[in-house]
């Protein structure tokens, strides 16, 4: 029986909470559906390097790798050799053995290359010798992938110019969970309700600017309300001044997730991604973007290139500049097109951007169709 291999050089999270932990789980589910659709076996190799060695040994003994159509892999935000506990590799050679063997058998390998934050001094916190050593290892990882990989998958096309791997590159942004999008047909509320879900302790996320925008919007009367959803520990770490800034009658704060968060999504009109524009944010695609759309919510987002392209592909919402005035304009301009955005989300979002579709796109890039 022909098969596909999912190779994750790390332990897959059992209860993923962050976007980086969620993606490999969702892609694994998507490839499981792909394998079932085309009557293939899906083989997963993951865990510590020692655990991967044991799994690979069994595959080779059973000669299953000789029936492999393609291999899909993902890296993490640290080089693949350092993903074991304590960043101490138990088996240095397993990744090379797997990739080299598959390449010798002409099995195309695709790797989702997650991040290049280590190339930006303002984002990479290490200094001195540690920084030099780690950046050298990252560059070794790029060369490793260049040697063995057929296609590098990226969060966005815009990130490609910062990835020094000379091979095929393709955007494979996050996807939506294939579910029935429950879009109510209600008109926008008066006052309208927006939601922001995410970090609150980094100016780069743009929450402070969003709060300023609401202050500007509501200076004469309350035209809009905002729900902020964040982690409780992050809120407790805010300064007294920052806590007072969001202590407004038209701003409410919640610490919810899962089913409780889904309930909140049903109470609001639209969602915000107010990130500050930067070179890095221009090629990032926040996983919250697809989470909002899966919940049926139009989006007001700043004009960071990759998220702008994604939202405009519907269109699924309004794009603004990354200042308070721009966000106010976005809130004021969403109403005339509100029902159109909701209809677009309902009709085309999951057809174009479900995780299952991402697996199909990756497979097509690697083998062009079932052989």
- Spell out the SS3 assignment of 43-64: EEECCCHHHHHHHHHHHHHCCH
pTM of the predicted protein model? 0.88
More confident: 167 or 123: 167
Per-residue pLDDT at 183? 57
Which of 31-35, 142-146, 157-161 is predicted with the least confidence, judged by mean pLDDT? 157-161
Per-residue pLDDT at 369? 60
4 and 35 Cβ atoms separated by less than 8 Å: yes
Task: State yes or no: pLDDT of 20 exceeds 80.
Answer: no
Task: State yes or no: pLDDT of 38 exceeds 70.
Answer: yes
Query: Quick one: average pLDDT of 238-247?
Result: 90
| Start-end of H helices in 38-117 | 49-61, 94-104
* Distance between CA atoms of residues 272 and 69, nearest Å: 41
Q: Which helix H or strand E contains 70, and what residues bound it?
A: strand 68-74
254 and 276 Cβ atoms separated by less than 8 Å: no
Structure confidence by residue, pLDDT tens digits, 285-307: 998 999 999 999 999 999 999 99
275 and 205 Cβ atoms separated by less than 8 Å: yes
Query: Quick one: average pLDDT of 61-75?
Result: 97
Per-residue pLDDT at 209? 97
Domains and CATH numbers, the chain: 3-175+354-367 (3.40.50.2000), 192-352 (3.40.50.2000)
Percent of residues in the chain assigned helix, strand, coil, to nearest 5: 50, 15, 35
Query: Quick one: average pLDDT of 310-338?
Result: 96
Task: State yes or no: pLDDT of 187 exceeds 90.
Answer: no
SS3 100: helix
Per-residue pLDDT at 210? 98
Query: Quick one: average pLDDT of 103-130?
Result: 93
Task: Tell which residue, 177, 180, 250, 264, has the closest CA to residue 213.
Answer: 250
371: pLDDT confidence band, cut at 50, 70 and 90? very low
Which of 10-24, 75-89, 122-136 is predicted with the least confidence, judged by mean pLDDT? 10-24
Query: Quick one: average pLDDT of 180-184?
Result: 58
Task: State yes or no: pLDDT of 185 exceeds 90.
Answer: no
DSSP calls for 258-277: HHHHHHHHTT-SEEEE-PPP
Query: Quick one: average pLDDT of 191-203?
Result: 94
- Give the CA diameter of the chain: 74
Q: Which residue has the tokens 């640290």?
A: 78
* Distance between CA atoms of residues 272 and 297, nearest Å: 10
Query: Quick one: average pLDDT of 260-278?
Result: 95
């Amino acid at each position: 029986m022909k098969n596909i291999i999912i190779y994750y050089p790390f332990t897959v999270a059992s209860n993923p909470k962050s976007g980086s932990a969620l993606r490999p789980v969702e892609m694994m589910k998507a490839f499981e559906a792909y394998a079932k659709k085309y009557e293939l076996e899906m083989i997963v190799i993951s865990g510590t390097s020692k655990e991967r060695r044991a799994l690979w040994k069994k595959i080779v003994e059973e000669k299953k790798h000789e029936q492999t159509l393609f291999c899909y892999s993902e890296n993490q935000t640290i080089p693949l050799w350092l993903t074991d506990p304590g960043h101490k590799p138990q088996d240095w050679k397993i990744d090379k053995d797997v990739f080299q063997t598959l390449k010798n058998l002409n099995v195309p390998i695709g790797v989702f290359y997650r991040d290049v934050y280590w190339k930006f001094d303002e984002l990479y916190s290490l200094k001195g010798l540690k920084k030099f050593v780690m950046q050298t290892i990252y560059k070794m990882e790029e060369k490793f992938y260049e040697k063995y990989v057929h296609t590098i998958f990226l969060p966005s096309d815009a990130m490609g110019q910062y990835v020094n791997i000379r091979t095929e590159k393709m955007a494979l942004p996050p996807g939506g969970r294939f579910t029935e999008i429950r879009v109510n047909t209600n008109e926008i509320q008066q006052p309208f309700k927006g939601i922001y879900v995410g970090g609150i302790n980094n100016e780069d996320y743009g929450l402070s600017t969003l709060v300023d925008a609401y202050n500007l919007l509501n200076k004469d009367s309350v035209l809009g309300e905002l729900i902020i959803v964040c982690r409780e520990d992050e809120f407790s770490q805010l300064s007294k001044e920052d806590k007072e800034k969001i202590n407004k009658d038209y701003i409410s704060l919640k610490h919810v997730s899962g089913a409780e968060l889904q309930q909140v999504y049903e109470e609001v009109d639209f969602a915000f991604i107010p990130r500050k524009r930067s070179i890095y944010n221009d090629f990032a695609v926040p996983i919250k973007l697809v989470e909002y759309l899966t919940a049926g919510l139009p989006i007001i987002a700043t004009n960071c290139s990759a998220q702008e392209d994604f939202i405009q592909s519907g269109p699924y919402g309004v794009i603004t500049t990354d200042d308070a005035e721009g966000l106010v304009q976005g809130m004021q301009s969403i109403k005339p097109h509100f029902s159109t955005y909701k209809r677009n989300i309902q009709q085309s979002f999951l057809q174009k951007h479900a995780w299952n579709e991402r697996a199909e796109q990756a497979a097509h890039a690697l083998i062009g169709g079932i052989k």
